[in-house]
Structure 1
Amino acid sequence: MQETPRSAEGRIALVTGAARGIGLASVERFLAEGWKVALLDIDGGNLEAAMGRLAKPDATLAIVADVSDPAQVNAAVRQVEERFGRLDALVNNAGIAIFKPLLETTFEDWSKVLAVNLSGPFLCTQAAAPLMAAHGGGAVVNITSISGLRASTLRVAYGTSKAGLAQLTKQQAVELAQHGIRVNAVAPGPVDTAMAKAVHSPEIRAAYHDAVPLARYGLESELANVIVFLCSEKASYVTGQVVAVDGGFEATGIGLPALRGHNG
Structure 2
Amino acid sequence: MTKSAPAVLVTGATGGIGRETAARFVREGSRVAIADIGREAVDAFAEELRAEFAGADVLPLVLDQSSVASVEAAVEEVRAWSGQLHTLAVVAGVLQAEGVPVTRLPVEEFERVHAVNLKGPFILAKYFIPLIPTDGTGSIVMVASYWGREAHPLYAAYCTSKAGVISLVQVLAGELAEEGIRVNGVAPGNTNTRMHQKHLHDEAEELGITFEEMRDTHWSTIPMRYAGEPHVISDAIYFLASDQASYITGATLDVNGGVVMT
Q: Where does the alignment leave 5 or more consecutive residues of structure 1 unmatched?
A: 1-8, 253-264
**What's the CA shift for 1:151?**
2.1
In 2, are the aligned partners of 1:20 and 1:46 still within 8 Å (CA)? no
> SS of the counterpart of 1:63?
strand
Cα deviation code 1:19-52 (max 9, x no counterpart): 1210111001101111110011112222222122
Aligned to 2:184: 184
Q: For residues 216-257 of structure 1, give each alpha carbon's deviation from its aligned partner in whole angstroms, at most 9, with x where no partner exists.
A: 1101011101101101111000000011100111118xxxxx
Q: Does the CA-based 8 Å contact 1:147-1:155 persist in structure 2?
A: no
Matched residues in 1 for 2:82 and 2:221: separation?
44
Contact 2:84-2:133 within 8 A present in 1 as well: no
| Per-residue Cα deviation, 1:115-154 (whole angstroms, up to 9, x for no partner) | 1100100010111111114665510001000111122243
Assess if the C-alpha contact under 8 Å between 2:8 and 2:30 holds in 1. Answer: yes
Within the candidate set 85, 96, 104, 1:87 is matched to: 85
Counterpart in 2 of 1:64? 62
- Distance in 1 separating the partners of 2:241 and 2:219: 30
State whether residues 137 and 179 of structure 1, in contact with CA within 8 Å, keep that contact through their aligned partners in structure 2.
Answer: no
Relative to structure 1, the CA distance from residue 176 to residue 23 in structure 2 (aligned partners, 3 Å threshold; closer, same or farther) is same
Q: Distance in 2 between matches of 1:247 and 1:80?
A: 35
SS in 2 for 1:251: coil
Task: Say which of 224, 238, 245 aligns to 1:235.
Answer: 245
Q: Does structure 1 conserve the Cα–Cα contact (< 8 Å) formed by 2:135 and 2:179? A: no
1:119 and 2:114 matched = no
8 Å contact kept, 1:20–1:50: no
Aligned-pair Cα RMSD in Å: 1.8
1:151 equivalent in structure 2: 151
* Distance across 1 between alignment mates of 2:172 and 2:134: 17
SS in 1 for 2:66: coil
Q: Which residue of 2 aligns with 1:15?
A: 10
* Contact kept in structure 1, 2:49 and 2:56, CA below 8 Å: no
How far apart are the structure 2 equivalents of 1:137 and 1:78?
21
Cα deviations by residue, 1:196-227 (Å, 9 ceiling, x for unpaired):
11121333321232211111110101110110
Q: Give me the identity figure in percent.
A: 37
User: Which secondary structure state, in structure 2, belongs to the residue aligned with residue 76 of structure 1?
Assistant: helix
2: CA distance between counterparts of 1:109 and 1:196? Answer: 19
Classify 1:72/1:135 alpha carbon distance in 2 versus 1 (closer, same or farther; 3 Å).
farther
Q: Secondary structure at the match of 1:24?
A: helix
The one-letter code sitting in structure 2 at the alignment partner of 1:143 is V
Contact 2:141 2:186 in 1 (8 A): yes
Question: Does the residue aligned with 2:80 lie in a helix, a strand or coil?
Answer: helix
The number of residues matched between the two structures is 245
| TM-score, length-scaled by structure 1 | 0.88
Contact 1:13 1:89 in 2 (8 A): yes
Structure 1: how far apart are the matches of 2:152 and 2:39? Answer: 32
Q: Partner amino acid for 2:193? A: T
1:208 counterpart letter in structure 2 = H
For residues 135 and 12 of structure 1, the distance between their equivalents in structure 2, rounded to whole angstroms, comes to: 14
Alignment of 1:151-230 (within 5 A): 151-200=151-200, 201-230=211-240
